[in-house]
Amino acid sequence: MANADSRSTQIIIALGACGLVAAATYVIPNPAVLVGIGIVPLALVGAFQRPFLICLAFILLSFFRLHEAFPVLNPLHLPQALAIGSLVVLSTYLFTKRMEVAWTKPLKYFAIFFGLITFGMFLATGRDIAIGYWTDTYVKIAIMVFAIASLAREPRDFARAMRAFVLAGDLVAYVALYNSANQIGLVEGTRVTIGRAMGSVLGDPNDLSLVLAFPLSFAAALVLTEKTGWFSRLYGLISFGAIAMAILATQSRGGLLGIVAVCATFGARRVKNKTVLFTGGSLALLVLFAAAGISGRSSGGAAESGVIDESSEGRLHAWEAAIRMAMARPLTGVGLNNYVANYFFYSTWWEGFAKAVHSTWFSVLAESGFLGFGVFITMIVSTFRSIFRSTKACSPEMTGANYNPDAYGMAQAVLAGMIGFCVSGSFLTQGFTWPVYILVSLCAALQLYVTRRDKSQMKATA
């Protein structure tokens, strides 16, 4: 009877898919859209069976902007479809109590920070700007933080996430390197971008380097984690090289610092002599700056004279403006995504246009005030404490025969990613974008995995 019911369900799904495609043929001539409509029923069934995967797919499209890197995907409206699918699946799982919402210290501090940002949104200097960004991006980030932390339960989930991030990084890196080789969408004549003509987020070289820097730690983890297998190591090595080359093409100083930070994190455990590690890291940074051609940049390059180049001086003035905003509105800041709109009123150095803050820390300070900034820093510190414990608990030395390379690889990747975020985030605006929040959610998932594993082992030995 069970087999008959299953077969009937499959037949109904197949007929429904055929019906949708047949009906859409007379309305929508685009073949890509028709294919998308045809696979919707099958995708829904798969989403309910593997809810973690649909949430992961939504993050990949939203953060890596794959539909903007590959415009052929635009007619499918994948981000919107995956957002709706994720909400339907998550709501169903919560309603039927098939999913318990994760709750750890980093998540608690994130929830407080999210509450402060939401409250401050209504008191923002530009309320429409704050509400728009909250609705379009930040509330989706908040939902996915708890979804990933709650649904990533097993090492195989960590393995899928790692490889998915690396694959998405490869795809974006491929487009970036192609654009660089063919002189497409270059800024200042040398800095690569993606989708600049269509107004893509990746159209800014600094934002592009931010996206590319994220999968670096996951690629490095595939290479350097013990017992991952030769194929994973080779794939990670090739991917790390491709992504690093794409970051070099952006000529972003924050991106280059992110590369060094990730390498230093993995090297710290493997190089005993810290003097050698520090010296090697410093030399590597100089080599990367030379390879990226930073001196040839129109802004921040050798063409700008003085002890502090014009680009660096502009950042210092931008940071000063951020401090002034926080001092003027210490409890709520100027509001989510309102820094640029307020730059003119708080800057002492006006060039005729508003500048981005180019710093995660000053961005959070300006837009959430001293109170929000304090909670944000507490969340970061709590995440570091948690991931240090998880990395140790998943290491070969602590687990012995129960060692799992996927869990340990994810722990190392999250730790390196957090350090890379703190370093590159000092020069890139990441306070209200995806990277740090994905890392916080994966950190929480790892912590809960270690807790469940330890409890299971205690029961087995009792």
Q: Give the model confidence (pLDDT) of 354-389 as tens digits.
A: 778 889 999 999 999 999 999 999 999 999 999 999
Q: Would you say residue 60 lies in a domain?
A: no
Would you say 332 and 123 are in contact if contact means Cβ atoms under 8 Å apart?
yes
CA distance linking residue 88 with residue 48, whole number of Å:
9
Per-residue confidence at 307, pLDDT binned at 50, 70, 90? Answer: very low
Q: Give the model confidence (pLDDT) of 216-246 as tens digits.
A: 999 999 999 988 888 999 999 999 999 999 9
Residue 67 has pLDDT above 70, yes or no: yes
CA distances from 226 to 81, 153, 283 (A): 38, 21, 27
The token pair that represents 93 in the structure block: 């799982």
Token pair 């190392």: residue: 412
Q: Would you say residue 410 lies in a domain?
A: yes
Alpha-carbon torsion, ordered 188, 194, 197, 203, to 10 deg: -60
CA distance linking residue 274 with residue 141, whole number of Å:
38
Q: What is the pLDDT at residue 303?
A: 45
Domain hosting 189: range is 102-461
CA distance linking residue 122 with residue 124, whole number of Å:
6
Q: Would you say residue 201 lies in a domain?
A: yes
Q: What is the pLDDT at residue 296?
A: 56
Q: Would you say residue 67 lies in a domain?
A: no
Q: Would you say residue 57 lies in a domain?
A: no
CA distances from 132 to 127, 128, 301 (A): 8, 6, 36
Residue spans of alpha helices (H) in 182-307: 205-213, 216-224, 230-250, 253-270, 274-292
The token pair that represents 240 in the structure block: 């790390």
Q: Which residue has the higher pLDDT, 98 or 364?
A: 364
3-state SS, residue 50: coil
CA distance linking residue 112 with residue 118, whole number of Å:
10
Q: Would you say residue 84 lies in a domain?
A: no
Q: What is the pLDDT at residue 293?
A: 64
CA distance linking residue 322 with residue 319, whole number of Å:
5
Q: Would you say residue 334 lies in a domain?
A: yes
Q: Give the model confidence (pLDDT) of 148-203 as tens digits.
A: 999 988 899 999 999 999 999 999 999 999 999 999 989 888 899 998 888 888 99
The token pair that represents 381 in the structure block: 């510190």
What is the count of structural domains for the chain?
Answer: 1
CA distance linking residue 383 with residue 443, whole number of Å:
7
Residue 51 has pLDDT above 60, yes or no: yes
Say which range, 100-104, 337-341, 354-358, has the weakest mean pLDDT.
354-358
CA distances from 285 to 196, 280, 406 (A): 28, 9, 30
Q: What pTM was estimated for this model as a whole?
A: 0.86
CA distance linking residue 318 with residue 363, whole number of Å:
10
